[in-house]
Amino acid sequence: MELFGIRKSFSRRNFFGHGGYLEICRVAYPLIIMSASNSIMQFVDRKFLAENSTLDVAASMPAGILYFTLFAFFMSTCNYTSALVAQYHGANDRSSVLHAVWAGQTLAVAAGVIITFLIPPIGRFCILHSGHPAELISRELEYFSSLLPSGVFLCMAAPCFAFFSGQGRTIPVAVINISGCLLNIFLDYIFIFGKCGLPAFGIFGAGIATSICCFCIMAAAMICFYAQNQRKIPTRKRWEFRPELIGKLIRFGAPAGFQTFIDVGAWTMVSFLIGHLGPAALAASVIALSINNIYFVPLLGLSDSTAIVVGQYIGRQRHGIAQQAAYRAWRISAVYAFCGVLVYMLLPGTLAEFFSPAQQSNVDFAEVSNICVGVLAAAALFNACDSIKFVFMGAMRGAGDTVAIFLLNSLTAWGLLVPGTLLLTLVFRASIYVVWSFVAMVCVIDAMIFLWRFQSGKWKTIKLISHTEAEPLEVEQAVYDRITS
């Protein structure tokens, strides 16, 4: 079985061959560093909010997840431009690479209009009817409203980033995002605590800092895109409308957008339901998940790089190499997952104490810290499972198997996770430890389902792009099988 082929995992071909560890890492390390910088930024953001008020940090998770849920569909659909770019780049079709980016920009403009006018009333309605205490609702509304502009800016930046990442040029993407994260940390400090002559905005200031940084990221991404060598690829050429590419983005990108929407939506529901267990349980969950982001978010970078490498080899009609690359990416993530489990098991109390508030509040932090230790134990288990799920989900996304991803995620998220959490919190009034143990169990099931789907090979039959001058797949497959036998 390829997943656990330990002896063959250390062969020279696995390290230096096509789709090998070195190629995956070359594409992945800028994205992993970028993802890590994003998680560190969120960690520092939560740390500042925790120092300001335990209620602020408790309100930041449900409001932040709700905000992301409502614009995640548009963001993921625009982001799917990178899968098209990757396959066209693999097929050496430069003209279609550029047209795919223009199609993504067209969708991004439409998404920005919807986010600006439709999302705000929906978000306010959800928060006002969440059933949370009034002191939490007021803070959640502040944070949600201040974050809204950032969604528009991120959607506009996504197609420009896809131009680089889809070609495997991930360093510019990482540099821009890391710079934005550093700026966000600086502005968080100023706006939350009221430095440099400004008043202390608290949780509202954290959202404003994020929106300003997202605008800067969008501007930098557009400048880099339009500053390309015009002889090689004329990014400043007159925009051309290609309805067939917009159709592909909608056909394959919309399921990816819906998948993100229903997945994040499920976690939004879980966070709101945990709020019914009390401020201490909610604050502990926020702190534990903020700690977990430092570990978990880099896995998203590896997932994105897996999608890029797999997509490029599919564009070259080398499905065998694409499959091997996915298994190699999982082995990398498994090593990382093991290191994370060790940290969570050995240092849970130390990690939780890092979020202790500077001044007393209505919530007992000693209780919060004790709960946080238990939640981190559950996080260690579901992170190990996510190391399987997200790598193979990335490979399937790069191949265009987005409908299956959407359906499978819907099954586990809304067929298991949400109904189970609803029963545990509102009907059985279970403890926070039971709730998070159930979440970890769902993640185990989730990982096994995605592994099964990838090994079924159905993704190999999907045609995301057409090949005009490509070697027949059967010939490529036979050559690859002979080399690796």
The one-digit pLDDT tens for each residue of the chain (485 residues) are 455 555 666 676 777 688 888 999 899 888 878 777 776 777 788 788 888 887 888 888 788 878 887 888 898 899 999 999 999 999 998 889 999 999 999 999 999 999 999 999 999 998 998 888 888 899 999 999 999 999 899 999 999 999 999 999 999 999 999 999 899 999 999 999 999 888 888 899 999 999 999 999 999 999 999 999 888 888 887 677 788 899 999 999 999 989 988 887 788 788 879 888 888 888 888 888 878 877 777 788 889 999 999 999 999 999 999 999 999 999 999 988 889 889 988 988 888 888 777 666 667 788 888 899 889 988 888 888 999 999 999 999 999 999 999 999 999 999 999 999 999 999 998 999 999 999 999 999 999 999 999 999 999 999 998 765 444 434 444 444 444 44
Give the Å distances, CA to CA, from 176 to 25, 223, 226: 19, 11, 15
Cβ neighbours of residue 240 closer than 8 Å, sequence gap 6 or more: 99, 102
Q: pTM of this prediction?
A: 0.83
Tens digits of residue pLDDT in 160-206: 999 999 999 999 999 999 999 899 999 999 999 999 888 888 899 99
Could you give the angle at the alpha carbon of 301 between the alpha carbons of 298 and 307, nearest 5°? 150
Cβ atoms within 10 A of the Cβ of 441, count? 17
Give me Rg for the CA atoms of the chain.
22
Tens digits of residue pLDDT in 338-362: 898 899 889 888 888 887 776 666 6
Phi and psi for 363 in degrees, rounded to 5? Answer: -105, 130
Identify the burial level of 313 via C-beta atoms within 10 angstroms of its C-beta, where 0-12 means exposed, 13-18 middle and 19 or more buried.
buried
Q: What's the DSSP call for residue 357?
A: -
CA distance 181 to 26: 22
The token pair that represents 427 in the structure block:
């009907």
Count of all residues that appear for the chain in the document: 485
Which H, E and C letters describe 431-459, residue by residue?
CHHHHHHHHHHHHHHHHHHHHHHHHHCHH
Q: Which residue in this structure is represented by tokens 């059985």?
A: 428
Helix axes 254-274, 54-79, angle to 10 degrees: 170
Cβ neighbours of residue 12 closer than 8 Å, sequence gap 6 or more: none
